[in-house]
Structures are given as structure tokens and as C-alpha cells.
Structure 1
Amino acid sequence: MFKSINKFNHSETLFITLGDSICNLISEANFNNKRFSWLLSGGRTPELLFKYIKNNWIDKINWELVDVFWVDERCVNIDSKDSNFGQAHRTLLQHCKGITLYPMYKEGCFDKAASIYQNIVCSYIREFGTFDFTLLGIGEDGHFASLYRKSDFLSSAHVFVNCNQIHPHKRITMNIPLILYSKNITVIALGRSKGYAFKKNKGILGVLPINSRLWVDNEFMNEYKSIGL
């Protein structure tokens, strides 16, 4: 299912290695004077990654050639503590001079925001062909992006409003066919709870292409090793 499984004894080492890997890809694009597109998802997991990049790479990259999109977003104001955009912006992106950001939701009608974002994303794909890097996490219930049901994975590439009774906010999300327009897809899964969720819902991540990479820590593996990664 995955091109590689990257296992680390400590999450700090994982974030250092992953941060260097992402920033080296951006630097390579910089060297060739090419734009670099980065798809982000939410959750608390990426915060240490963002902090590492801020502290170690912020002045080594031409951020004017970097475009950032979001795989999913809660339908809240961008200043909300629950906003995926707000989290990434506060931790890293506000420090990246000249970077181009495409927030998925700011305010107003959820369905209209989803439609507008689909047009933006599809126009970008038509111009550049693909995204360069997608970063995904896994929720405690085994979901990724804001995809919960089998029906969420079907149909053509699009952006839509998704609801789940367990979660307090409506969400806008890309579906799988749209997420797959990416050269590199990385999934971060840390801790025993994520290992258990992954074990229960491994069929969900089975829809990802074989070029996807899984980054995990020992606690995840201790829970998940019975499956035989």
C-alpha cells in the first residue's frame, strides 16, 4: 500500500527528517526557478514540523515560489483556534515572506466556498499538472482529510462540504481523486491511539497510491505491528 514506511524511535527525529526532506524539495524547485505547491491538512500533529521549519529553514528558501493549499478545513473564521489555516499560519506561514496562500474557507456560505475552491484548485492543476507535496494526518477515529464514509471516496475529483455528527463543525474537503493529483503524499501517524485507529480503518488509506509514504513512531508500531507493515 505504501511506497515506504519510515519508522522513528522519537517523534522529534521524525519531524527533523521530514522537515529537511520537504525543504530540500522546495530548495530544488527554487534552484530550477519552479513553483512548489504544498497541500496541508489540519490537526495538532504538524505543529512540531512547522516549528522546526520555521527555526531552521525560514531564511534558506525563496517562499515567493511556494503555493500552499489545504486538503480540508473546518467552516470557521480563519482566526479561530479550530481553523487549519489559522494553525499553520500562526506557527509557520506568517513568517514565510512572499508565500502564496489559498485558504479553503474564510466566511459565508459553505457550499459557495467549496465551489470557489474547486475552481481555484482545478485551474491550478490545469496550469501546473499536479501538486508537489501533500501532507496528511490520521484522526483518532481513523479518518484523513475530512473523509469519513466510503461514499466520500467515490465520484470525480471535487471539493465538497462534509458533515459528521461526531465533529462540531461542518468541513470542506477535497475528495480522494483530487488529493491524488500529487507527486508525493506523506501520511504522519504518531502514538498508540493512531496505530489502533489505523488498524481498525486500514481500508480507508488503501485508496492512496503506491507512491504514498507513511511516517510513524515506535508507539504507533507497537499498536500496529500485528498487521505486519
Structure 2
Amino acid sequence: MIVHPDEDSLVGSVAARFITKLVDLLAENDEAHVVLTGGGMGGQTQRAIRDSSARDTVDWTRVHFWWGDERFLPAGDPERNDVQAREALLDALPTPAANVHPFPASDEIEDLDEAAAAYADQLLLAAPEGRKYPRFDITFLGVGPDGHIASLFPDRDGYRNADKTVVAVREAPKPPPNRLSLTLPAINSSDRIWMVLSGSDKAPALGLALAGASANEVPVAGVQGRKRTVFFVDKKAAADVPESLIASSY
């Protein structure tokens, strides 16, 4: 876990690390696959990437963008994560439209289960042979005060189902009630998972996750990237974390 003194330094540092890592990944691979998140910190981080003086060191034409979850709303609705990400970052990049993979909108596919299946098909089409999803290089996640990640909320069944990559979420405890989300196995298939969170309201969930709480009760506790899992946080969010768990550097 990396702790920063405030939100501005937090998002600036994450943006810089992200750009540097993408340059390295694209030096080694033909393309990179990134999973974006919504929420306040997701948007702030995306704007920091957009505004970075190093932004154009990345060959964005070789980057694919996916989402960890989405609110099941009509296309163009300002509450959708993909709409927010386009405004914050994607519209400023030369990434081809074919490399941007939003979840289906409610006015494109009316049935929630069919929409989940359609996104699973998108993942499969981009996957290497024998896999269900692309090789995700970096997955960004936010963390709710209740410990939820993507749209995987506490005390819900089915999100760890290894047979599915995408699930339909109904009666979510925060609006809107209908959502689409990657499952925990799909999230954990990512090489690197970066969780960016700030504020004292996140401290209890973060403390519980690092103390080994049940993933059913605190979903963020079940997150584990294949190569690296990092919490990037500010001092307020780290209030309940023992000093021994705080790293001095990445």
C-alpha cells in the first residue's frame, strides 16, 4: 500500500505511474488492455492522465479500454461510467473507437441478462485462445465505504462464479439498482490491480480488507492481481492501517 498526503498528490502519482507502466508494457507487447473504473477517484485519476505532460509518450492507438462495471442506463447518460471516462480522458486520446469497449446500454439491449452475456461475448472475442477474456494489464478499482468493488456488493451470491465473466446486478444498494459487473475471477485475472481511494469514510473498509476480512462481507478483501495488487491511498483512508503494512515505495 502506498500512502500519499492528499488527493492531488495521490492522483498525480497514480497518473504518472500509469503512463510509465503503459510505455513499458507497449515496448514489450503489441497492445495493452486496461480496465477503467467510475466514481470520484476514477474520474480524478483519468483527468490527471489526460492533463499529464507525459501523456503523449504513450501510443494510445495500441491500448484497449474496458470497464469493471457499469450502471445499466441509456447510452449517453451522464451517470454511465463510460460517458464520464470519455469526458475525463478518452475523448482527448487518439485511441481507435474499436479499441473502446463499453458495456451495453439499456436502450441497446433491454434485458439485463442478455446485456451481461453480450459483454461476456466481447471479452471472449478479444481473448487469447483458451481464455474467456483478454490479458488485462492494469485494472483500476474504486472501493466503496462498504468495501464493494466494481458493482460487487457485500453479502451477494454468484460474484465468485468462475463459469461467468460478467454478471447482471439487480437491487444494488446504491442507485441505480440495475448494473453490470465483471465477476471477481475476471477481475483477478488482471496482471495488476490498482485500487485508488481517498477519504476517512474508506478507512474502515480498507482496514478490514488488509486485516483479512471475508470477501463475502468486504468484497475488496477478495481482490488479488496475478502479479501485483496495490492500494494507492491518501492519509485519511490509511487511518486504520498498521504502519507495518505501508510501503515506502512502489
Task: Specify which of 102, 113, 116 is matched with residue 114 of structure 1.
Answer: 116
Structure 1 spans left out of the alignment, 5+ residues: none
Q: Measure the CA separation in 1 of the matches of 2:243 and 2:220.
A: 14
Structure 2 residue 12 is matched with structure 1 residue 38: no
> What does residue 212 of structure 1 align with?
229
Structure 2 residue 204 is matched with structure 1 residue 188: no
Q: 196-205 or 163-172, which moves further after superposition?
A: 196-205
Deviations 1:150-177 (A, max 9, x none): 5243221420110235223200001101
The aligned amino acid for 1:29 is L
Q: Go from structure 1 to structure 2 and tell me whether the alpha carbon gap of 1:174 and 1:227 turns closer, same or farther (over 3 Å shift).
A: farther
| Correspondences of 1:1-229 after superposition (within 5 Å) | 5-32=1-28, 34-56=30-52, 57-99=54-96, 100-106=99-105, 107=107, 108-109=109-110, 110-126=112-128, 130-148=135-153, 149-156=155-162, 157-169=164-176, 170-199=178-207, 202-203=213-214, 204-209=219-224, 211-222=228-239, 224-225=240-241, 229=245
> What does residue 248 of structure 2 align with?
none
**Is the CA contact (8 Å cut-off) linking 2:33 and 2:134 kept in structure 1?**
no
Higher helix share: 1
The answer to which structure, 1 or 2, has the higher relative contact order (CA under 8 A, 6+ apart) is 1
Q: Go from structure 1 to structure 2 and tell me whether the alpha carbon gap of 1:225 and 1:89 turns closer, same or farther (over 3 Å shift).
A: same
Q: Measure the CA separation in 2 of the matches of 1:61 and 1:40.
A: 17
**Is the CA contact (8 Å cut-off) linking 1:111 and 1:160 kept in structure 2?**
yes
Q: Measure the CA separation in 1 of the matches of 2:134 and 2:38.
A: 24
Identity over the aligned pairs, expressed in percent?
Answer: 22
Aligned residue pairs total 224
Superposed displacement of residue 215, structure 1 = 0.9
Superposed displacement of residue 192, structure 1 = 0.5
Q: 62-71 or 126-135, which moves further after superposition?
A: 126-135
Deviations 1:188-227 (A, max 9, x none): 12110011233456432222226311111111122x2369
Structure 2 spans left out of the alignment, 5+ residues: 246-250
The aligned amino acid for 1:36 is A
Superposed displacement of residue 118, structure 1 = 0.4
Q: 37-46 or 97-106, which moves further after superposition?
A: 97-106
